[in-house]
Amino acid sequence: MAIERTFSIIKPDAVAKNVIGEIYSRFEKNGLQIIAAKMLHMTREQAEGFYAVHKERPFFKDLVDFMITGPVMMQVLEGEDAIAKNRDLMGATNPKEAAPGTIRADFADSIDANAVHGSDAPETAQQEIAFFFTENELCPRTR
Ligand code: UDP
């Protein structure tokens, strides 16, 4: 399996619940390394730009409104099969459908306030990492 990088956000609801460390622990215990991290209270423009692929969707405005309610913790994760592994750890978009033991099953309240974001494919991972991080902010252990 290939070593991949993926982009992850701990959303405002999970930051407010003070579970950044618990979520980081799940990443690390499952073989994902945090190779960059940044805490940010996004502007509306940043949230709209980040979620531009969803701009025609009915939930777009609510999603942007929610993402700017408080600070988020964003990170780049690196490891074998990192994109799919992170999606498995996150669980389904709707926490009611998320498998037991996943981050969303344990920490999310609703489909809107669902604790985490994770890239869904290599192309989106690359775009999302580049949206918030410069190349020299990435600190892979191999460098
Ligand atoms: N979302 C929402 N209502 C919906 C579908 C999605 O509020 O009916 C939000 C939710 O926060 C989700 C984000 O939009 O995490 C992006 O949706 P996507 O389908 O890409 O889900 P994800 O990849 O985050 O599981």
Residue-wise pLDDT for 91-133, tens only, equals: 999 999 999 999 999 999 999 999 999 999 999 999 999 999 9
Q: How far apart are CA 90 and CA 35, in angstroms?
A: 19
DSSP 141: T
Output the pTM of the full model.
0.97
Secondary structure element (H or E) that encloses residue 61, with its range: helix 60-67
Q: Looking at ligand 1, which residue's alpha carbon is closest to its atom 9?
A: 112
Q: How far apart are CA 111 and CA 13, in angstroms?
A: 12
DSSP 140: -
* Residue ranges of domains in the chain, CATH in brackets: 3-137 (3.30.70.141)
Measured in angstroms, how far is the CA atom of residue 93 from the centroid of ligand 1? 6
The question of whether 54 is a catalytic residue gets the answer no
- What's the complex ipTM? 0.96
Residue pLDDT, tens place only, 41-89: 999 999 999 999 999 999 999 999 999 999 999 999 999 999 999 999 9
